[in-house]
Amino acid sequence: MKGLILAAGLGTRLRPITSLRPKPTISVANRPLIHYALDDLIDAGVTDIGIVVSYDTIDHLKEAVEGYRGANYTFVLQAPPKGLAHAVEVSRDFLADDSFVMYLGDNLFEQGIGAFIDAFDPAAGVNAVMALIRVDDPRAFGVAVVEDGRITRLVEKPPDPPSDLAVAGVYVFDKTVHDAIDGLEPGAKGEYQITDAIARMIERGLVVAPVEVTGWWKDTGTADDILDANRLELLSMARNVEGTVEESRIVGDVVVQAGATVRRSTVFGPAIIGRGAVVEDSYVGPFTSLGAGSRLSNAEIEYAVVGADSVIRDVRARIHASLIGENVVIEGASGRPDAHRLVVGDQSQIDLHQ
Ligand code: G1P
């Protein structure tokens, strides 16, 4: 069984964070998103892993992935990215005729992907497995209809969903998927959709088995999704203080990574302070990740993700529900004029408290 992680997307809803780095390399609980996908694959015994990238994403992904846990990585260029079925098509040489797990690089599964792989039983005539999850509003997802233990209908982002079963981002396929992709017509936005290819497999009488996701599942399209994913991942971390703590209050599941320093501050977990970070005269509230080498001084922050090497200093109002990139400087200023001075990249969002 091979693995295929799709990581060619541009992550437009996460700009400007994704203007400089692809979404799967954004940190959640101080680890790049793609490491969670790699862990799930490797823990399920899949170590021959293809990663589909675009010109815009290849360098960052190579840096985040190469050498990780000793698996074999093959980078496949999808340029330009034209949908999930297209990603499989361009990976054909890597996949050959082998069965494979396809994992969307911006998805997170609390319980890993073992159950989906276990349900893929070629001896029982199963050609594909899809991860499904019940959601209140499935209109933003692929939607499946299940009858007698098989998926009998599949539609992509329907305005009028035929069920509440959304398609989560892990699929297992045998080689019959390639025939279903051959000659596929593009769907919405000109993309070749994997949902349409699987619908063709169903029409041709092939067996597509559903497996409902247990535990939480997260598709990280927006800044709010990243914050929520960070919250969920932090909830599974236990207290571990390896760094230096002086004259501070550290409450609950707080990780202070090696080389980090917390001084004259209060930290309420769950939270993580990254390697080499310095927190001084500050408050760090629940669901906060401070990246490696970041510095927080005379400031308050909660429910936030701060990228590596960013500096937050002398800020009077508490910063919350915030996604802050790497190498960012946020500094309070006093005196006249009583004004904000901003140097902000394209498509940033700043909400100033009055
Ligand atoms: C893709 C799939 C969709 C699935 C979703 C899960 O959509 O096309 O069927 O429900 O991933 O994350 P996208 O998020 O790429 O728009």
- Cβ of 156 closer than 6 Å to ligand 1, yes or no, is yes
- Quote the tokens at residue 317: 């109002």
- Cβ of 195 closer than 6 Å to ligand 1, yes or no, is yes
- Distance (angstroms) between ligand 1 centre and the Cα of 143 equals 10
- For residue 334, the model assigns a pLDDT of 82
- Distance (angstroms) between ligand 1 centre and the Cα of 26 equals 19
- Ligand 1: residue of 14, 84, 213 to mutate (most ligand atoms within 8 A of CB) is 84
- For residue 337, the model assigns a pLDDT of 85
Q: Could you identify the atom of ligand 1 that is nearest to the CA of residue 193?
A: 8
Beta bridge pairs of residue 305: 289, 323
Alpha-carbon span 354 to 175, nearest angstrom: 59
- For residue 307, the model assigns a pLDDT of 95
Quick one: CA torsion of 333, 338, 343, 345, rounded to 10 degrees?
Answer: 120
Quick one: CA torsion of 28, 219, 197, 123, rounded to 10 degrees?
Answer: 70
220 burial type by CB count under 10 A (0-12 exposed, 13-18 middle, 19+ buried): buried
Q: Could you identify the atom of ligand 1 that is nearest to the CA of residue 9?
A: 15
- Cβ of 169 closer than 6 Å to ligand 1, yes or no, is yes
- For residue 26, the model assigns a pLDDT of 92
Fold designation for 2-133+169-219: Spore Coat Polysaccharide Biosynthesis Protein SpsA; Chain A (3.90.550)
User: Which of 275, 334, 326, 330 is CA-nearest to residue 300?
Assistant: 330
- 246 contacts 229 by C-beta, under 8 angstroms: no
- For residue 342, the model assigns a pLDDT of 87
User: Which of 111, 168, 101 is CA-nearest to residue 134?
Assistant: 168
What is the tens place of the pLDDT at every residue in 199-257? Answer: 999 999 999 999 999 999 999 989 999 999 999 999 999 999 999 999 999 999 999 99
Three-state secondary structure readout of 183-251: CCCCCHHHCCCHHHHHHHHHHCCCEEEEEECCCCEEECCCHHHHHHHHHHHHHCCCCEECCEEECCEEE
326 phi/psi in degrees, rounded to 5: -90, 150
Into which CATH architecture does domain 237-331 fall? 3 Solenoid (2.160)
pTM to 2 decimal places: 0.94
Query: 90 in helix, strand or coil?
Result: helix
User: Which of 263, 242, 326 is CA-nearest to residue 289?
Assistant: 326
- Cβ of 196 closer than 6 Å to ligand 1, yes or no, is no
- For residue 57, the model assigns a pLDDT of 84
Residues of the chain with pLDDT under 50: none
Q: Domains of the chain: which residue ranges?
A: 2-133+169-219, 237-331
- For residue 67, the model assigns a pLDDT of 94
- For residue 339, the model assigns a pLDDT of 85
- For residue 55, the model assigns a pLDDT of 83
- Distance (angstroms) between ligand 1 centre and the Cα of 142 equals 6
- 51 contacts 7 by C-beta, under 8 angstroms: yes
Query: 132 in helix, strand or coil?
Result: strand
Q: Could you identify the atom of ligand 1 that is nearest to the CA of residue 168?
A: 6
- Ligand 1: residue of 102, 132, 219, 222 to mutate (most ligand atoms within 8 A of CB) is 219
Q: Is the peptide bond before 80 cis (omega within 30 degrees of 0)?
A: yes
- 115 contacts 19 by C-beta, under 8 angstroms: no
Alpha-carbon span 76 to 157, nearest angstrom: 27
Sign of CA dihedral 222, 228, 230, 233: negative
DSSP 8-state assignment for residue 124 = G
Quick one: CA torsion of 132, 136, 140, 142, rounded to 10 degrees?
Answer: 30
- 21 contacts 349 by C-beta, under 8 angstroms: no
- Distance (angstroms) between ligand 1 centre and the Cα of 221 equals 10
